[in-house]
C-alpha cells in the first residue's frame, strides 16, 4: 500500500499510539486478511471466529511490521438475503506496549457494527 492510501484511510488515536484502518470494500478486507496471515510473525495464530445467523466475525491479533508492533483486527462477513456476501472490518496497528488500547478500539468497532 502506498503512502497516499495510508494517509487517506488511517485515523490516528491517542497521539498516534494506535493507527486505525477502517475497511469498507470487500477487496480491502481480502487484502488485509491475506496480508496479516501471510506476514504473521508469531508462531501460533491468535484468531477467534464466531457465527450468528447469517453473519461471521473473525477477530485476531498478529505481530505485524517491526518486532514490537502488533495488529489487532476484526473482519465481518454477512450473507445478504439475495445470497451476496458483504465484507467490512478494521485493523488497529500499535506498539506492543499500546496493545490494550488497540484491543479496546477493535472491541468498540465490533460493538458498533
Q: 22-31 pLDDT, tens per residue? A: 898 999 999 9
Measuring CA to CA, which residue among 110, 107, 99 is closest to residue 19?
A: 99
Q: 82-102 pLDDT, tens per residue? A: 888 899 999 998 988 888 888
pTM of whole model > 0.85? no
Measuring CA to CA, which residue among 21, 16, 24 is closest to residue 101?
A: 16
Q: Give the pLDDT of residue 67.
A: 78
Per-residue confidence at 80, pLDDT binned at 50, 70, 90?
A: confident
How many structural domains does the chain have? Answer: 1
In terms of residue numbers, what domain contains 23?
3-112
Amino acid at each position: 500500500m502506498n503512502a497516499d492510501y495510508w494517509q487517506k484511510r488511517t485515523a490516528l488515536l491517542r497521539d498516534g499510539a494506535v493507527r486505525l484502518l477502517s475497511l469498507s470494500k470487500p477487496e480491502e478486507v481480502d487484502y488485509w486478511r491475506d496480508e496479516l496471515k501471510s506476514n504473521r510473525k508469531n508462531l501460533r495464530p491468535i484468531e477467534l471466529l464466531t457465527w450468528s445467523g447469517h453473519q461471521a466475525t473473525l477477530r485476531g491479533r498478529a505481530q505485524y511490521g517491526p518486532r514490537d508492533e502488533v495488529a489487532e483486527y476484526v473482519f465481518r462477513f454477512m450473507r445478504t438475503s439475495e445470497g451476496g456476501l458483504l465484507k467490512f472490518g478494521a485493523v488497529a496497528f500499535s506498539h506492543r506496549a499500546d496493545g490494550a488500547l488497540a484491543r479496546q478500539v477493535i472491541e468498540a468497532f465490533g460493538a458498533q457494527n
